[in-house]
Structure 1
Amino acid sequence: MKMKVTAVFDIGRTNKKFFLFDDNFQEVHREYARFDEIEDEDGYPTENLEALEKWAKEVFDKMLDSSKYEIESLNFSCYGASLVHIGQDGKPLTPLYNYMKPIKEDVSDSFYKAYGPEKKLSRITGSPKMGMLNTGMQLYWLKNSQPEIFKKIKYSLHLPQYLSYLFTDIPVSEYTSIGCHTLLWDFQKKEYHQWVYKEGIDKKLPPIEPSGKTNLIHYKGHKIKMGVGIHDSSSALIPYIRSITKPFLLVSTGTWSISINPFNEGILTPDDIKNNSLFNMRIDGSPVKVSTLFLGNEYKLQVKVLSEHFNVPHDAHRKVKFNKDLFFKINRDFVHMFKWHTIPSENMPDQTSIPYDNFDKAYHQLLLELVLLQEKSIKIAIGNSKIKQLYIDGGFSDNEVYIKLLSQFLNTMKLRTTNSSLGSALGAAIIISDKVLESKFLKTNYAVKKHSPFIKK
């Protein structure tokens, strides 16, 4: 007898993944793919949407014919800030524009002149001025730079919903994609912002469906329950929200360290905007306050400099163990020594100075300074929320020095690390399931570890 499974496409900027989960949300199959980027009409690199579509259809069709698995449901988790504009024939009219593509200043200036002021608009929409990272700005830019193309658009779909459309032929919008720093949503009125209607952009956006909505689709002789897709950051939250009863903060670490507060109340404050906070959205349309820090990227750059300075192997940082005595010595006479390449900070010196005689000492100094930035980012995300539980996942969750220092500086919080390579894919599977997660779900599936602050001298 075939095993009944849920299929999920988990689409990142670099890695494209396909998973099968059994009834207990255990991974039973996975496949990976990568595609070289192509260029848009301006020569800017972007996603090869055609290759992605072809791969997704081929992988899914192959698994439908599997003698081992019977796919009962399918969902999609994808990176945000990306739109596919389709015409009357259901085909894309433009490339999938890269959210890092620059926008000319005169375009954004005209927008904020018409619909600003910027700070007020950012607060209400939970969306700092971020260029193409605001998908609403993508639509405004397209309307002004390519009006003939804009007129031909039947629907503009965020990437998770476009992949769902490929398999269902049902165009929808969905809360977590709409609410991901898009400039589209008014978090006070809980509807599209007024500017969306004035520009006629609402007519390009299909009806909004709940994140957990499914449609029973007849696909190549099979009846399959298909989801509408979900934004990956919001999806990664679902296992935590469904299995933790008390308020918590999740810090997802990697190239970016993203502090995620699903329990924030009200719109962003002026200080939040000053500190570059933004809103994502939960599946029920409520805001998720987010504070970002370019932690992993900065760490990578600084570790490279240290490795070359001390003439040690490039992976020497992976072997450094936390040294409590070394920390006390550095902290006692603490001064900022590192000039950051990619993180703005008022405390950093004009140039980096490394007075230490070995790599381990300099590494502890580096991590101490980065953790101080991390502590600030976490406190910004928490704001006035009454949160005492802190979860760390991603690349830094197994960095002993980082975790020891963070547990010390946030010693009033219960800090736990989690380890799951499935992340958003698992959330996408859970959201279209009727199953209730047990309180031990994280412990069983995410290898949860508790961490306590070390005692000060």
Structure 2
Amino acid sequence: MRCIAILDIGKTNKKAFLIDEHYRIVRESGTCFPEIKDEDGDLCEDITLLTNWVRDSLRELVSLPEYTVTAINFSTYGASMVYLDEEGHILAPLYNYLKPFPQGMQEALCAGSGGLDKVCSDTASPALGSLNAGLQLYRIKQTKPALFDKIRYALHLPQYISFLVTGQPLSDITSVGCHTMLWDFSQQRYHEWVLKEGLTEKLAPIFPGNRVLPATIEGSNYMAGVGLHDSSAALIPYLSSFSEPFALISTGTWCITLNPFNNNPLTPAELAADCLCYLTYENRPVKAARLFAGNEHEQEVKRLAEYYQTPVNYYQQVVFDPAIFAQLLAVAPQHQTPVHGTGLLQSSRFAERPLTDFISYEIAYHRLLMDIMEQQQFSSSLVLADTPVKRIFVDGGFSRNTVYMHLLAAAFPHMEVYAASVAQATAVGAALAIHRHWNTQQLPADLVEMRHYSHGSIYI
């Protein structure tokens, strides 16, 4: 069976897939790694462990006798860079994108390029400190000049994973164009400040995401993609399947609303509310709004499990209950000042709610999702307004969560809301990006399975 091997590396879960020519997942495995600490004591990914897992996983996938792997591609989370010396050895930890950023440094940097607001507008990147990957490299230049001098290549994480099998240090536009503060969207080149600071000398050449490179594993030759930023990869199955305008809420650690049909320039207000633009592998801008809701959900279900003495994954058994929804609406009038717009990482109201307010896990869980949905509605509306979009697709973890899906349908009553399961959309997107190089079949018509959620069904 001819297959493509895909490694999909999330902040929490690392997954390895074999996908056949009909885009069916025929093999899947996954793991999680404990974080380690960098030299400042901040938590970060263990890059050595990750590197070894990549090599071991690929060796295992290509050695399976029942499959013929013809190509390989990769998708990973963004805003993370791997620093290599002349010989390709790792020089520094894989710094966490949540690592505190030195106060005043980004303002000082941008002062010579028209100020922070202008640079944010030019690069379609909110000012997010370490979440702007370009600023991570700039911080090294400012605070660790000896390390900076040793860096030959600063590779975005997807391209580092590709480098492990191709040996070719490259960049790709989906990684460069994901809130890095590196790319000038109007000029279609690296921003003036990047050139001025000499960072381009450390950045690898940009390679198209729909082309392949020769790769060697265990002495055998394969074709490998350059790797993609995961949010851009997750959009590819939808762009391949639908021509009518739609938005996608890609859910995981982040809940990212992606609207490929919003061509309006980012306004200062949208940038202040953490909107940004991604670039597709075809270099097309996608307006996006992001929320750290998956991370909050992960933290809060731990709190619920401890309080109600249940397993951490008990929430998976909770189904949407319209009676609980109506009850909570009655006790929590919606005229309160919404919690939003003042910070991407800000928690919803639920973080401040005492669990003694709720007589059952189910009621508390509905309240948590209603609080998250308050933020989701605000976040998604930023990129949906004044566009022709009439359909919202949700993929990832929350697409299987009936509470989230029913609440989303209620939040957007004039939209068609679908739980859209492309099994592992990010991995399938990475395979689709290089389809013509490895796949002898036509694109399947049924890539996306959809379940419609009607807002009318949630009221009793």
TM-score by length of 1: 0.88
Aligned counterparts of 1:6 and 1:276: Cα–Cα separation in 2? 35
Classify 1:439/1:62 alpha carbon distance in 2 versus 1 (closer, same or farther; 3 Å).
closer
* Offset from partner CA, 1:352-405 (integer Å, 9 cap, x none): 697676665555455444323222211112132210110112222233333223
Pair 123,383 (structure 1): closer, same or farther in 2 beyond 3 Å: farther
> What residue identity is the alignment partner of 1:193?
H
1:33 paired residue among 12, 31, 48: 31
Contact 2:8 2:426 in 1 (8 A): yes
> Are the aligned partners of 1:339 and 1:350 in contact in 2 as well (CA < 8 Å)?
no
Q: Deviations over 1:200-249 (max 9, x none)?
A: 11121122111111023455443311111111111111111111111111
Q: Which residue of 2 aligns with 1:439?
A: 445
Match of residue 346 from structure 2:
343
Match runs of 1:226-245 below 5 Å: 226-245=224-243
1:112-127 to 2 correspondences below 5 Å: 112-127=110-125
Which structure has the larger Rg? 1
Alignment correspondent of 1:132: 130
Note the C-alpha offset of 1:126.
Answer: 1.4
Deviation at 1:262, TM superposition (A): 1.9
1:276 partner amino acid: D
CA distance in 2, matches of 1:96, 1:350: 32
Q: Which residue of 2 aligns with 1:96?
A: 94
Provide the C-alpha distance between the structure 2 equivalents of 1:233 and 1:289, rounded to a whole number of angstroms. 12
- Counterpart of 1:411? 413
Pairing of 1:169-184 with structure 2 (within 5 A)? 169-184=167-182
Q: 1:403 corresponds to which letter in structure 2?
A: M
- Could you tell me how far 1:295 is from its partner in structure 2? 2.5
Aligned to 2:210: 212
Contact 1:153 1:204 in 2 (8 A): yes
Partners of 1:353 and 1:27 in 2: CA distance = 41
1:242/1:332 CA distance change after superposition, 3 Å: same
The CA distance in 2 between the partners of 1:252 and 1:236, in whole Å, is 7
1:454 maps onto 2:456 in alignment: yes
Equivalent residue, structure 2, for 1:14: 12
Task: State the partner residue of 2:153.
Answer: 155
Q: 1:199 to 1:409 in 2, by over 3 A?
A: same
Q: Which amino acid aligns with 1:343?
A: Q
> Which residue does the alignment assign to 2:262?
264
Q: What SS does the corresponding residue of 2:277 show, helix, strand or coil?
A: strand
Residues 454 and 139 of structure 1: CA distance in aligned 2, closer, same or farther (over 3 Å) = same
The change in CA–CA distance for 1:125 and 1:282 in structure 2 (over 3 A counts) is same
**1:95 deviation in Å?**
2.1
Letter in structure 2 aligned against 1:277 = C
Query: Shift of the alpha carbon at 1:433?
Result: 1.2
Give me the whole-angstrom Cα distance separating, in 2, the residues matched to 1:93 and 1:452: 52
Cα distance, 1:79 vs structure 2: 1.2
Contact 1:298 1:343 in 2 (8 A): no
What is the percent sequence identity of the aligned residues? 37
Counterparts of 1:239 and 1:277 in 2: how far apart (Å)?
Answer: 23
Distance in 2, Cα, partners of 1:15 & 1:308:
23
Q: Deviations 1:160-196 (Å, cap 9, x if unpaired)? A: 1111112112121100000110000111111111111
- CA root-mean-square deviation: 3.1
Q: How does 1:138-149 map to 2 (within 5 A)?
A: 138-149=136-147
Q: Distance in 2 between the 1:74 and 1:311 partners?
A: 43
Matches of 1:356 and 1:260 in 2, distance apart?
Answer: 34
What is aligned with 1:381? 383
2:54 matched to which residue of 1? 56
Task: Provide the C-alpha distance between the structure 2 equivalents of 1:430 and 1:273, rounded to a whole number of angstroms.
Answer: 31
**1:279 paired residue number:** 277
Superposition deviation, residue 197 in structure 1: 0.8
- Gaps spanning 5+ residues in structure 2: where? none
Aligned-pair CA distance for 1:260:
1.4
Question: CA contact under 8 A between 1:6 and 1:73: conserved in structure 2?
Answer: yes
Shift of 1:13: 2.2
- Shifted more, 259-268 versus 176-185: the winner is 259-268
Letter in 1 for 2:184: D
* Whole-Å separation in 1 of the counterparts to 2:163 and 2:201: 18
Structure 1 residues 206, 262: closer, same or farther in 2, change over 3 A?
same
* Distance change in 2, residues 1:354/1:191 (3 Å): same
Counterpart residue identity of residue 374, structure 1? Q
- Amino acid corresponding to residue 408 of structure 1 in structure 2: A
Of 365, 370, 376, which aligns to 2:372?
Answer: 370
Gaps of 5+ in 1: none
Alignment equivalent of 2:430, drawn from 428, 431, 434 = 428
Q: Name the residue aligned to 1:390.
A: 392
Q: Distance in 2 between matches of 1:91 and 1:451?
A: 50
Whole-angstrom CA distance in 1 between matches of 2:222 and 2:8? 18
SS of residue paired to 1:393: strand
SS at match of 1:115: coil
* In 1: Cα distance, 2:81 partner to 2:280 partner: 20
Mapped contact 1:213–1:227 kept (Cα < 8 A): yes
SS at match of 1:13: coil
- 1:66 to 1:360, Cα distance in 2 relative to 1, 3 A: closer
Task: Determine whether 1:83 maps to 2:89.
Answer: no
Cα distance between partner residues in 2 of 1:234 and 1:179: 10
Shift of residue 277, structure 1, vs aligned partner? 1.0
CA contact (8 A) 2:395 2:425 kept: no
* Count of residue correspondences: 450
Distance 1:149 1:391, change over 3 A: same
Q: How many angstroms apart in 1 are the aligned matches of 2:33 and 2:355?
A: 41
Is structure 2 residue 71 aligned with structure 1 residue 68? no
Please give the alpha-carbon distance, in whole angstroms, between the structure 1 residues aligned to 2:381 and 2:423: 26
CA positional deviation for 1:7: 0.9
The 10-residue stretch of structure 1 (58-67 or 298-307) with the greater mean CA deviation from structure 2: 298-307
Distance of aligned partners of 1:418 and 1:42 in 2 relative to their CA distance in 1, 3 Å threshold: same
**TM-score for the superposition, normalised by structure 2:** 0.87
Residues in 2 aligned to 1:308 and 1:58: alpha-carbon distance in whole angstroms: 36
Provide the C-alpha distance between the structure 2 equivalents of 1:326 and 1:52, rounded to a whole number of angstroms: 43
